[in-house]
Amino acid sequence: MTGAGSGIGRAVAVELLRAGWSVALAGRRTEPLEATAALAPKAAALAVRADVSRPEDVDALFAATTDRFGRVDLLFNNAGTFGPGGVPVEELSYDAWRHVVDTNLNGAFLCAQAAYRRMKEQDPQGGRIINNGSISAHTPRPHSAAYTATKHALTGLTKSLSLDGRPYGIAVGQIDIGNAATDMTARMETGALQANGEVVPEPVMDVADVARTVRHMAELPLAANVQFATVLATAMPYIGRG
């Protein structure tokens, strides 16, 4: 579980831990990971500081996970960043672009690759990867070139991994989330820039509803797969956006 120290990652981690899963909690800061672990039975949680954009951190994360739990049955590829908000594409620095790409796309690839290797080699073979996409994997918000590009790319990665994993019992799906109430989306309730230039408050939904959806995807038998799931606040301006 990457990005497990807050928001969607924390909610999903707690949902799985309380359901009896053993979960490796990954993130860039140890303290939030330990706070997540404290919300559920600690014996089933392993906190590992890892920056998913660094191959050596990802290798260490999966080594620690297999050392503790013996195998990898599920990866929730959740770590991500919006990048600088409200910055027009002509003003977006290359460093800011790279940071978003390295976290959202390269990090997801590195973790999926590491999970894939273990799922292919372990006995019994197989496992499941769930990528955290976004509504922006379908339709962008204004001034979100880096975030939107990575989320569109993540959809392609999901499809490719799903196809390549078939012979080895590796199921790969994606959840696209719209306006789950977390610290990262707090601004939605006060006002979000719309395609017509207006700033409008948007409805949000309980992040626990996302967590339950991920749990449902995770607990399917490997013979079944939710390829894509879209979970969003019912009244958010997505259908008809723009």
Helix axes of 7-18 and 30-37: crossing angle, nearest 10 degrees? 30
Residue 147 is a catalytic residue: yes
- Asked if 26 contacts 4 with a C-beta cutoff of 8 angstroms, the reply is yes
Peptide bond into 167 cis (omega under 30): no
Q: Among residues 94, 147, 168, 238, which one is catalytic?
A: 147
Spatial neighbors of 137 by CB under 8 A, at least 6 apart, are 148, 151, 152, 154, 155, 174, 176
- DSSP code per residue over 116-141: HHHHHHSSS--EEEEEE--GGGTSPP
223 by Cβ neighbours in 10 Å (0-12 / 13-18 / 19+) ranks as exposed
Spatial neighbors of 202 by CB under 8 A, at least 6 apart, are 179, 188, 189, 192, 233, 236, 237
Encoding tokens for residue 152? 């569109």
**CA–CA gap between residue 193 and residue 195 (Å, rounded):** 7
Encoding tokens for residue 147? 């975030």
**Residue with tokens 């994993």, as numbered in its chain:** 165
Known catalytic residues? Answer: 147
